[in-house]
Structure formats: structure tokens, C-alpha cells
């Protein structure tokens, strides 16, 4: 068994587990399931730890672990290679993978278990940087998220939608969320892009610490260009003031999240994993409020990523 990383599962009441990359057998346990999540201060990581705990408690014969990763693109790559069994991903990245576009040279053998909650695009700038729109990021130091993350995909598309060249018009820094937050605090970064559920712990930390030294940048002006270029996977949304105790609501762009697996996963296991999301939804909501957005009505809506046969069986489709 190759150990990829170790990290603590962050969640209220969640089980602390060792993080591993691939399946196998563990003494005294069952077959391992590795869940590829995201940055340690993001919702993927927290909710992934909650799902791992519910698998360990409720699926006989399986032991799940959650792993911190760069998120969407990396997660899909891990599932395709067999390094992880389950992965969180943004729907736009998953659509690219299914069709062989963007970061993927050919269609990838992935299937969806369910649509989860929406990610909200956060663009936050230092108040003294004079940034009111995405176009104002020109000439600024901008964190576009971890390499091979869904945040990075969205960040580069946002910049292009505002008429900026990501490689020439900004000083781009590919940093994890913890590194990004620290950079904004240290004033070595002027602005950040982050795609995550509400609230994201790292963003809460930044807003609480910096208060009126940072501001949200609205995104309604770039949404039409994003939709023309990339489709309706990008939708209008609002970051409510209550999410981070900010002065007012902020217009933003939302993207659904999917839980995906390799198409070769056993259909019986896929069905059980899908059912777990709903059978243990109350417990997942205690781990993070984003789980409240998971609904049976929306969960099968994963197009253009196909549902796994096991998930289809669960949803009766």
C-alpha cells in the first residue's frame, strides 16, 4: 500500500483517519476506499471526511479515508488512474473530462454518483488594490488556486471573459487556499479566486481576520461571456451577506459539484454509496451545512457526465 499523504479529517464529530491513496486490504478492516477531496480548509475536505466516516460506520466490508488534494482536475485524474475510488469535482471540469476538452486530451472513463451542492465563485481583493471588477485585476498579483484544481479552471476562464490574458495581464500565482489566505494577509497577493461551498472555512478565516481590509468583487458582468463560451453550467448566484457577515449580498457565478467514480466501479457498491448520501444526509449536514443542498430531485442531474449504472439503479432510472 503506497501512502500518499496524511491529514486529519476536519469536521465536527468526524473521525480522524489516516489518508491513503488507493484501495486494498487493512488488517482488522475491509477493502479501502480513497476519497479525493481538496484543500484542507475547503468544503470538499470537510464533507469528504464526513462521507468517509459514514462509510466506515455503515458499509460493512469497507474502510474509507479522505485525502487532501488539489481538487477537481487532479481528483478526476486520480480516479481514472485508480489512485482514488471516489472524487469530488466541479461540474464544468467533469464535463470537460467526459468530452475530452480543456485539461483532458480524450474522454475520461468517469461516471457520476450524484450531483451534490453548488460551488460559489469567490473573487476577493485587498481593499487598497482598487479592484472593483474582474477587469481591474490587470497588472495585479492574483492567486488562481491550486494547480489542476477546479478553481484554477474557473479563474482562467473568468480572466479571459473579462478580456485579460491570464499569462500576460496578471501576475498569476497557483496557490492552495491556505497559502492564498496567508498571502492576502501578508499583502503579497492583491486578489484571489476561489470556488467553494458556503461558507468555506478558509474564506471565513480571511474575512474575520482582515475585516474591511478585503472586499468581494461582483461577477455579474462577466457571466454572459462565460455562458457564451462555456455553456449553462455557469449560472447566476448570490453570496448572501450572512455567509461571511459582510455588508451586503454579492452577485457571483455558481457551478454544481458532482461525486464521481471510475466507470468500472462495481454497480452494487456504486448503488450503496449513492444511497448513503441520502440515508445519512442528516449526519452529513452536521459536518457541513452545504450537505443540506443535496436533494433527490437534483442528484441525478449530472449531464453531460453519465450516471453510473449503480446510481441509476438507486434513483430508479
CB 98 within 8 A of CB 168: no
Residue with cell 466501479: 265
The pTM of the whole model exceeds 0.75: yes
Give the pLDDT band (50/70/90) at residue 274.
Answer: very high
Predicted pLDDT of residue 317:
67
Cell numbers linked to 300: 441525478
* Calpha distance 216→210 (Å, rounded): 12
> How many CB atoms sit inside 10 A of residue 267's CB?
14
Element spanning 270, H or E:
helix 267-279
| Residue at grid coordinates 498571502 | 183
pLDDT at 300 over 90: yes
Q: What is the C-alpha to C-alpha distance for residues 67 and 285, in angstroms, rounded to an integer?
A: 20
- Backbone angles phi and psi of 65, in degrees to 5: -135, 150
The rounded distance, in Å, linking the Cα atoms of 40 and 5 is 12
The residue that leads in pLDDT, 22 or 219, is 219
- Report the DSSP beta bridge partners of residue 252: 237
Give the C-alpha distances (Å, rounded to integers) separating 249 from 117, 195, 255, 285. 19, 17, 18, 24
Report the Cα–Cα distance between both ends of the chain, in Å, rounded.
37
Q: How far apart are CA 131 and CA 170, in angstroms?
A: 13
Which of 23-32, 85-94, 210-219 is the least confident region? 23-32
Angle between helices 150-161 and 72-81 (to 10 degrees): 140
Domains of the chain, CATH where assigned: 31-117+257-315 (3.40.190.10), 119-255 (3.40.190.10)
Strands 110-126 vs 171-173: parallel, antiparallel or unpaired: unpaired
Alpha-carbon distances, residue 139 vs 12, 129, 151, 164, 189 (angstroms):
41, 11, 20, 10, 12
DSSP reduced 3-state for 258: strand
Q: pLDDT digits over 41-66, tens only?
A: 999 999 999 999 999 999 999 999 99
Q: What is the 3-state composition of the chain as percent helix, strand, coil, each rounded to the nearest 5?
A: 40, 20, 40
Q: What pLDDT score does 12 carry?
A: 34
Average confidence (pLDDT) over 295-316:
97
Whether the CB-CB separation of 126 and 209 falls below 8 Å is answered with no
Among candidate residues 261, 275, 159, 272, the one with its CA nearest the CA of residue 217: 159
Percent with pLDDT over 90 in the chain = 90
Cα 123 to Cα 157: distance, rounded to the nearest angstrom:
13
pLDDT of residue 29: 58
Please state the rounded mean pLDDT for residues 277-288. Answer: 98
**Beta-bridge mates of residue 115:** 258
Amino acid at each position: 500500500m503506497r501512502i500518499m499523504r496524511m491529514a486529519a479529517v476536519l469536521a465536527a464529530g468526524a473521525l480522524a483517519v489516516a489518508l491513503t491513496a488507493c484501495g486494498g486490504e487493512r488488517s482488522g478492516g475491509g477493502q479501502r476506499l480513497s476519497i479525493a477531496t481538496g484543500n484542507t480548509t475547503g468544503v470538499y475536505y470537510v464533507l469528504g471526511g464526513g462521507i468517509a466516516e459514514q462509510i466506515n460506520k455503515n458499509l460493512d466490508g469497507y474502510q474509507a479515508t479522505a485525502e487532501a488534494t488539489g481538487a477537481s482536475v487532479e481528483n478526476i485524474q486520480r480516479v481514472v488512474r485508480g489512485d482514488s475510488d471516489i472524487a469530488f469535482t466541479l461540474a464544468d471540469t467533469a464535463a470537460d473530462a467526459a468530452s475530452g476538452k480543456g485539461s483532458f486530451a480524450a474522454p475520461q472513463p468517469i461516471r457520476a454518483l450524484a450531483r451534490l451542492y453548488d460551488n460559489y465563485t469567490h473573487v476577493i481583493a485587498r481593499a487598497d488594490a482598487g479592484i472593483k471588477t474582474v477587469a481591474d485585476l490587470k497588472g495585479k498579483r492574483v492567486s488562481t488556486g491550486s494547480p489542476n484544481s477546479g478553481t484554477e479552471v474557473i479563474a482562467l476562464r473568468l480572466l479571459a471573459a473579462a478580456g485579460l490574458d491570464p499569462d500576460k495581464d496578471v501576475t498569476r500565482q497557483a496557490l492552495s487556499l491556505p497559502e492564498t489566505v496567508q498571502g492576502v494577509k501578508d499583502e503579497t497577493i492583491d486578489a484571489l479566486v476561489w470556488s467553494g461551498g458556503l461558507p468555506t472555512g478558509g474564506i471565513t478565516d480571511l474575512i474575520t481576520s482582515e475585516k474591511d481590509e478585503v472586499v468581494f468583487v461582483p461577477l455579474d458582468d462577466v457571466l454572459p461571456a462565460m455562458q457564451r463560451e462555456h455553456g449553462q453550467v455557469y449560472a447566476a448566484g448570490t453570496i448572501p451577506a450572512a455567509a461571511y457577515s459582510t455588508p451586503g449580498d454579492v452577485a457571483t457565478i455558481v457551478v454544481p459539484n458532482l461525486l464521481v467514480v471510475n466507470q468500472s466501479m462495481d454497480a452494487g457498491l456504486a448503488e450503496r454509496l449513492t444511497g448513503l448520501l441520502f440515508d445519512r444526509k442528516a449526519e452529513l449536514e452536521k459536518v457541513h451545512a452545504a450537505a443540506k443542498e443535496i436533494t433527490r430531485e437534483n442528484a441525478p442531474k449530472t449531464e453531460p457526465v453519465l450516471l453510473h449504472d449503480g446510481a441509476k439503479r438507486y434513483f430508479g432510472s
